[in-house]
Amino acid sequence: MVKKTLGLKIKINNSLLNFIEIDLKKLEHNYYAIRSLLNPKTKMIGVVKANAYGSEVNSIAKKLVALGIDALAVAFTEEGIQLRNQGIKARILVFYPQTENFKLLISANLEPALYSKKSWRAFEKNILDQRKKNYPVHVKYNTGLNRIGFNPADSDWILNEIKKDAFKIKSVYSHLAASEENRPNEFSQKQLALFNEIMNDHKKNSKSETDFHLLNTSGIFNYPELHLDWIRCGIGLYGFANQPQWNKKLKPIGKLISTITQIHSIKSGETVGYNCGWTAHENTRIAILPLGHADGIARHYGQGNGWVSIQGEKAPIVGNICMDMIMVEIKNLPCEEGDEVEIFGTVNTAEAFADQGNTISYELLSGLGKRIERRILK
Ligand SMILES: *Cc1c(COP(=O)(O)O)cnc(C)c1O
């Protein structure tokens, strides 16, 4: 339905003031850096769920396809359909497809992960209804993360089911709970042992060739001997790998820039922000930046925990973060209203900034709001 509007073109972002600069050359660097760690036969799934970790999924997906990625993966069916609507023809895995959307998923030629008998049966029904055969699916096992996945004890059931020809199992996979933790890690060892049994079961009893995969980004770095047939790389493509020595190989693709909209000179003893959250202990200056917790800069970054970079200098976020604004102390830094400020990027990486806010790069990046413009550098 086309809604009548007032005829105004509305651009729903504060784009001149806040933007994330996304550098596709850095994405390319990360792609090759990760490729270089892999056996040439190991294939790469580029994980682009949640708007490519909060960046801009259409440009990221197109670039990855152009670079030769073997498949893409999203969390939900709608995300896969968005990629198809962009003309992306690559294989697309859907990690958490909801049974309600199976029909759509099939019509968009997406490949589901089946993770329970219920999801299996529901998908089978859709395949039979649409008179399809040998539809490519992926089987997800729960080996200890206790998120989604078949119980390893279900492997006999699955192997019996695939004697029918509704599905073709393209791959069997699981997910580690602590892939970034130092080796040897007891919990990962247990998961590995279980996955080994699952692989053996499938190898012995499956009629067609099945691929196996286990590792996300940190796993790729931490378990070079376990790359298997595929790896599933998300955060690494965006420039982080959850350990400083691994991060060194990668380049963060995004920079979040904001603009000083107002500067106040305040006297010692004056307070800043809601609930008088911060008190100046000397005469100082405060700069106001037009983004806040509605844009993904959570309250944890306030109260001096997080800092932004102005002309390369640290300016701490003072007081409580508001919905649309944050206040930073700039003292005598040489800056004025209208100047750009780096919230994170080169001086303070997204990972370091996330840490200041008591979170991780994944949450910071994927939580960046729609009001922030995405600027793509090709
Ligand atoms: C998100 C996700 C990944 C990607 O993990 P990174 O740590 O970002 O590389 C891999 N596998 C599954 C099942 C996921 O949900």
pLDDT in tens, 90-105: 999 999 999 999 999 9
Residue range 25-32: mean pLDDT, rounded: 98
pLDDT of 4 above 80 = no
Each residue's pLDDT tens digit, 180-220: 999 999 999 999 999 999 999 999 988 778 999 999 999 99
Residue range 132-140: mean pLDDT, rounded: 96
Each residue's pLDDT tens digit, 298-351: 999 999 999 999 999 999 999 999 999 999 999 999 999 999 999 999 999 999
For residues 371 and 294, is the Cβ–Cβ distance under 8 A? yes
Distance of CA 141 to the CA centre of its chain: 21
Q: Which atom of ligand 1 is nearest to the CA of 96?
A: 15
User: b or e along 140-152 (b: 16 or more beta carbons within 10 Å of the residue's beta carbon)?
Assistant: bbbbbeeeebbeb
- The one-letter amino acid code at 11 reads K
Phi-psi region of 349 (alpha: psi -120 to 50; beta: other; left: phi over 0): beta
Structure tokens that stand for 113 in this block: 């992960």
pTM: 0.95
> How many angstroms separate the alpha carbon of residue 232 from the centre of ligand 1?
6
Each residue's pLDDT tens digit, 50-59: 999 999 999 9
**∠ Cα 66 243 180 (to 5°):** 90
pLDDT of 284 above 50 = yes
pLDDT of 13 above 80 = no
For residues 346 and 339, is the Cβ–Cβ distance under 8 A? no
Same fold? 24-246, 254-377: no
Q: Which fold has domain 254-377?
A: Lyase, Ornithine Decarboxylase; Chain A, domain 1 (2.40.37)
Q: Would you say the CB of residue 149 lies under 6 angstroms from ligand 1?
A: no
CA pair distance 60, 55, nearest whole angstrom: 8
- SS3 at position 148: coil
Residue range 151-169: mean pLDDT, rounded: 93
- pLDDT at position 5 is 55
For residues 135 and 108, is the Cβ–Cβ distance under 8 A? no
Q: Which atom of ligand 1 is nearest to the CA of 175?
A: 13
Residue of 216, 220, 253 best suited for mutating to test ligand 1, as the one with most atoms within 8 Å of CB: 216
Q: Would you say the CB of residue 175 lies under 6 angstroms from ligand 1?
A: yes
Residue range 124-150: mean pLDDT, rounded: 96
Helix (H) or strand (E) holding 352: helix 350-356
**In the chain, where the domains are located:** 24-246, 254-377
24-246 in CATH: which number?
3.20.20.10
- pLDDT at position 205 is 86
> How many angstroms separate the alpha carbon of residue 207 from the centre of ligand 1?
28
Neighbours of 181 (CB within 10 A): 16
Residue of 53, 92, 95 best suited for mutating to test ligand 1, as the one with most atoms within 8 Å of CB: 95
- SS3 at position 355: helix
> How many angstroms separate the alpha carbon of residue 95 from the centre of ligand 1?
9
User: b or e along 252-269 (b: 16 or more beta carbons within 10 Å of the residue's beta carbon)?
Assistant: bbbbbbbbbeeeeebeee
Cα-only R_g, the chain: 24
Each residue's pLDDT tens digit, 61-86: 999 999 999 999 999 999 999 999 99
Q: Would you say the CB of residue 95 lies under 6 angstroms from ligand 1?
A: yes
pLDDT of 23 above 70 = yes
> Mean pLDDT score of the chain, rounded to an integer?
95
Q: Which atom of ligand 1 is nearest to the CA of 232?
A: 10
- pLDDT at position 206 is 81
Residue range 140-161: mean pLDDT, rounded: 96
